[in-house]
Amino acid sequence: MSLPFKRLIPVALFTMLGAGIVAALPGTPARAALPQGAAAPDFQTQAVLAGKPFGFHLADALKKGPVVLYFFPAAFTSGCTIEAHDFSDATEAFRASGATVIGLSHDPLDKLSRFSVTECRNKFAVGVASSKVISAYKVKLPLLSMSNRTSYVIAPDGKILMMYSAFSPQDHVAKALAAVQAWHRTHPAS
């Protein structure tokens, strides 16, 4: 591809196409993600809720109940916007089962701040996924600094209850909510 032609392609479209092609390849990180029963790596990051920044620490969030940790490639792309709307619509159902939802992306905090207001609809937090966290959770897209689309449900003991990885945002919320509700049924006092 010649340099002048590259300049004509919007960066977001180029990134999405690259991520889609890479995600469809055999052996992509979707198959290498942390399995059910594995220990979830602890991390701290900067996050935003309703446009307001705060420090997020996984260990602290787990003291309150399960955590739905979902990785998404890039704020304001079509699939990530759909997924944010879906999580936003289900936030109360997650809370009713004692779960905290946080989305992580390699985007800068100022971009995530806007995304938290417009697409997450002020209902759940989104945070910065460092390269270290992306690697620890085995969700890195090859050749790119961003993560693939992978959702985890982490029990308060730090073990992964559910992992789902698919480039389409379609089933992430339903699978995560089912796992949280199943956990809640066996831990009603939690």
- For 28-44, the pLDDT digits (tens) are 434 469 999 999 999 99
Question: Mean of the pLDDT values across residues 130-145?
Answer: 95
Closest CA relative to residue 97, chosen from 44, 14, 161: 161
Percent of the chain with pLDDT over 70: 83
Range of the domain at 148: 3-186
pLDDT digits (tens, 9 = 90+) for 149-188: 999 999 999 999 999 999 999 999 999 999 999 999 999 8
Checking if the pLDDT of 66 tops 80, the result is yes
Backbone angles phi, psi at 47, to 5 degrees: -135, 170
pLDDT confidence of residue 189: 76
Between CA 190 and CA 184 the distance in angstroms is: 7
Structural domains in the chain (count) = 1
Residue 157 makes CB contacts below 8 A (sequence gap 6+) with: 62
For 51-69, letters b (16+ CB in 10 Å) and e give eebeebebeebbeebbbbb
Percent of the chain with pLDDT over 90: 80
| CATH code (residue 47) | 3.40.30.10
Q: Which residues participate in catalysis according to the annotation? A: 80
